[in-house]
Amino acid sequence: MQASQTQTTVHPEPEDSGKVRDIKVSVIIPTMNEPAISKVVNETRQALKHYVTEIIVVDKSTDDTPKKARKAGARVITQEQIGYGNAYLLGFRHVSPDADIVVMMDGDYTYDPYEIPLLIDPIVDGYADIVLGNRFGHMEEGAMNVRNRMGNGLITATINVLYKLRLRDSQSGFRAMSRTAMEMMEITSEGMPFASEMIIDARKKSIRIAEVPIRYRQRVGVPKLKAYKDGSLILGLVIRMVRDYNPLTIFLPIGGLLMLGGVIAWAFVVQEWLQTGIISRFASVVGGTMLFLAGLQIVFFGLLADIILVALRSRR
C-alpha cells in the first residue's frame, strides 16, 4: 500500500520552552526496507529540535534504507538477527546512558514525528511512565484494513479483560517511555508480540501506562506484519502470560468447569439411586469422581500459585 505522496500537513512550530531543552530524547526506529526513512528521520529531527535528540535506526534491510537513514542524520545499527521485538531489544541496548525518554516509532511514515511531543509530555509532566499512541484517535481512511482492525480489537479486548486495563489500541507501534521504565522491563518476545509483552510486563510491575490520540496514515512501502500468523502469536502470548500475572483467571474457570462436570455426572448417579435404589452408571461414578478431583486439584494449584505470587511481589 502506498500512501498518497501529495498530502501535506502544516505543523505548528515545536514548543520552545526552557523545560524541554534539558531533556534528552532517544528515538528508536526499526527498519526493514522502508522507502520513507529519510522523511521519517528528517521530520523527527525537526520535530525535536528543542530537545537533545538521538535517532537510532535498527536496520535489517536489503535496500538503501541504512544509507538514507545515515544521510538524514540517524545512527544506524545493523541487526544480525531478525524480528521487530529483537530490533527494539537491540535498540534499547544502544540508548545513550544520559537519555531521559525513549520513543518507539515505525519507519514507514504511518506515524507523524511531529506528534512525538504529545507522547513525551505526560512523562515529562509526571503523569505516566509509558505513553501509547492511540491510532483510532485520528485514523486516516484506508490506513488500517478491516481485518487488522478486528484483530487489534480482539487482542486489545483480551488484554483489557485479563490484565484489567482500559486501552483502545494495544498494537500501536508509536510509544514513549521513561528511561527508568525501559530499564525495568524484561521483555523476551523477538517478533511482533513484543508490543503486547511490553504492556503486560509494565502492568505486572505497576508501571503507569497512558494513551493519547494520534494520527495514523497509510504506510509507505510493503507491510512486514503477517496478520494471521502474528495475530495468533500475539493472542497466544497474551493468554499464556496471564498465568504469571493472575493465575486464578486461568485456573479458576478451568478447574471450576471440570468440577461442575463431575457434579453433573454424579447428579445422574444419585437421581438413579433415588428412583431405583441401585447404581448402574459406573462410568459416571468413576468419570465424575475423576473430573471433580482433577478440577479441585487445578483450583488448588491456582490458589497456591496466587499465594506464591502475592508473597513474591510483597518481598520486592
Binding residues for Mg ion, rule: CB under 5 A, are 106, 108, 110
Residue 217 interacts with ligand GTP (CB under 6 A): yes or no: no
CA distance linking residue 130 with residue 133, whole number of Å: 10
38 contact, one of ligand GTP, Mg ion, none, CB 5-8 Å limit per kind: none
What residues are paired with 132 via a beta bridge? 175, 211
Rank residues 99 and 199 by Cβ distance to Mg ion and give the closer one.
199
Q: At what angle do helices 194-204 and 84-93 cross, to 10 degrees?
A: 60
Residue 106 interacts with ligand GTP (CB under 6 A): yes or no: yes
Helix (H, G, I), strand (E, B) or coil at 136: strand
Among 34, 54, 129, 169, binds ligand GTP (CB under 6 A): 34
Strands 52-59 and 101-104: unpaired
| Cell 471440570 -> residue | 258
Rank residues 104 and 202 by Cβ distance to ligand GTP and give the closer one.
104
Report in angstroms how near the CB of residue 4 gets to ligand GTP at its nearest. Answer: 15
Rank residues 106 and 197 by Cβ distance to Mg ion and give the closer one.
106
Residue 173 interacts with ligand GTP (CB under 6 A): yes or no: yes
Residue 82 interacts with ligand GTP (CB under 6 A): yes or no: yes
Which element (helix H / strand E) includes 26? strand 24-31
The full DSSP string for 233-271 is HHHHHHHHHHHHH-THHHHHHHHHHHHHHHHHHHHHHHH
Residue 84 interacts with ligand GTP (CB under 6 A): yes or no: yes
Rank residues 110 and 134 by Cβ distance to Mg ion and give the closer one.
110
Cβ proximity of 107 and 34 under 8 Å: yes
Among 58, 72, 89, 123, binds ligand GTP (CB under 6 A): 58
Residues 6+ apart with CB under 8 A from 191: 83, 84, 85, 86, 230, 233
Residue 87 interacts with ligand GTP (CB under 6 A): yes or no: yes
Residue 107 interacts with ligand GTP (CB under 6 A): yes or no: yes
What residues are paired with 24 via a beta bridge? 52
225 contact, one of Mg ion, ligand GTP, none, CB 5-8 Å limit per kind: ligand GTP
Report in angstroms how near the CB of residue 111 gets to ligand GTP at its nearest. Answer: 9
Cβ proximity of 154 and 235 under 8 Å: yes
Q: Could you list the residues that contact ligand GTP (CB under 6 A)?
A: 30-32, 34, 58-60, 79, 82-84, 87, 106-108, 110, 173, 219, 223-225
